[in-house]
Amino acid sequence: MISGQNGKFNDARPGCHAIVLCGGEGRRMGGRKELLEFNGEPLLLRLCRSLSGIAERITVVADRKREYAFLPDGVRAIADEVADFGPIAGICAGMRVSDLPLQLVVACDYPLAGSFVWRALADTLARYPEADAVLPEAGGKLHPLCALYRQRTIGAWADAMASGNRRVMAATQRMRLVKWLPGDQAADRLMNMNTPDDYRLAKERLRP
């Protein structure tokens, strides 16, 4: 696994499709995470707005077909291919509706990531054409659900689902990975939000 360093990043990338994962009922949170309010708007809308700066197309994948009336024009919502299978089913569903070469996968519990992270991932992967994906690493932890994959990885995801393997990191073991190291100041952008305390902390960090 190669380590990419922090640097200056360009704007939107041609050939990039964003997949926003909204599966799960948010039991630890006490409600659906994508509908949580951030600065007067649902988190899902905030994510889609941010992703529109880098992605040609955006697909929201939920655990069942859901209608999100607030989504911008051009953002589509689809259902997981296999109910209750977890993120791998969502990734497969998202990749199968777009054959664009870059697939930016973002779970809806990364409220702080934003355009800096998306562009950093794209620039890092561009420097390693042999790599299949770039995963951020912060606090000694890899973040496969806030990462950029090449479309050619769809076979690894499909094989994992066919074999009943729900572990995302296990599926990535078949891939040639690059790590993006955001640095101490940017590491907070990879905060993973699971509980009401996490939600309160994320809102504090996003205060205008």
- Look at residue 208 in the predicted model and tell me its pLDDT: 61
Structural domains of the chain ordered from first start? 2-205 (3.90.550.10)
- Cα dihedral 148→115→81→78 (10° resolution): -150
Binding residues: 21-23, 33, 80, 109
pLDDT of amino acid 7:
38
pLDDT at res. 183: 80
**What is the structure's pLDDT at 129?**
95
pLDDT on residue 67 = 81
Q: pLDDT tens for residues 99-123? A: 999 999 999 999 999 999 999 999 9
Angle ∠(122,16,161) on CA atoms, nearest 5 = 95
Annotated binding site for GTP: 21-23, 33, 80, 109
Amino acid identity of residue 141, one-letter, is K
CA distances from 164 to 84, 97, 134, 159, 171 (A): 12, 22, 24, 9, 11
Cβ(192)–Cβ(143) under 8 Å? Answer: yes
Residue 8: the pLDDT is 38
pLDDT tens series, the chain, 208 aa = 444 444 333 466 789 999 999 977 667 887 889 999 998 999 999 999 999 999 999 999 998 778 898 998 889 999 987 877 889 999 999 999 999 999 999 999 999 999 999 999 999 999 999 999 999 998 889 999 999 999 999 999 999 999 998 899 999 998 999 999 988 767 788 998 999 999 999 999 887 6
Our measurement of the distance from residue 179's CA atom to the centroid of its chain's CA atoms, rounded to an integer in Å, reads 15
The annotated binding site for Mg(2+) is made up of 109
Q: Are strands 57-62 and 75-79 parallel, antiparallel or unpaired?
A: parallel
Q: Which residues pair with 3 in a beta bridge?
A: 179
pLDDT at 60: 96
